[in-house]
Structure 1
């Protein structure tokens, strides 16, 4: 696994895990990588700084920054990792329905199908239509790799 810091066209920076650099390139080229905050698919790798600790017998010449209300990048990454873990746990009890999501969610809403936790794919227009019809749906904060495309 490899982790990349990614940036969307609107400037959001987020972290994503991939099986390899080639897997990232394939998913990006296929339009499968999108910003979890705004859904933008114009995603590129962001500049990443390696986390290299100082030598144990040396002190930093730069004083530690004063505490502020802005969370550190490490705190943001930890929060995103916790959210990703929570999403993965929630999806364990949910069925992947892929492109049939809109039809299945609508059928459950209308009482034509039994209620069940599902997740899948929908266009923004289809998702808006479901919401306007009163169907209880919510976007997932992180992209989901369809089971049929996993190694």
Structure 2
């Protein structure tokens, strides 16, 4: 696993903390579905924006989303709630990056309830819109190392699904 953390002189490795992002999003009437709850597609859009910003910070390139893993909504979000999205890098390949985005609903007292956890794969693009290498990822904490190992497993599962056309 150590080789995954090595960097080339052209692309120095970056820490997870170098690209993490927290976005706060108030929920307005325009964000609601017919049940007066946050429209799921709106949350997906916010998640994709946060993941894109994390990946862009990591590779200093434009990026495109290749995969969004399954989404499970654990808590409803209502009008005037505040959604907090926290994104961080979890795994990198040669040109791709996996980003985890946790979404929370935050109460007035500051308590947060998890709404969703999503993993997205984004690809770094060169000036011609073609995939280009990304910096290695420095995992410093046990949690970051565990995410890396889980990211390797998720990558294998994605490859298996793709090969089976599932």
Please classify the TM superposition score into its range, dividing by the shorter chain length.
under 0.3
Query: Which has the higher relative contact order, 1 or 2, with Cα contacts under 8 A spaced 6 or more apart?
Result: 2
Normalised TM-score (structure 2): 0.23
Normalised TM-score (structure 1): 0.24
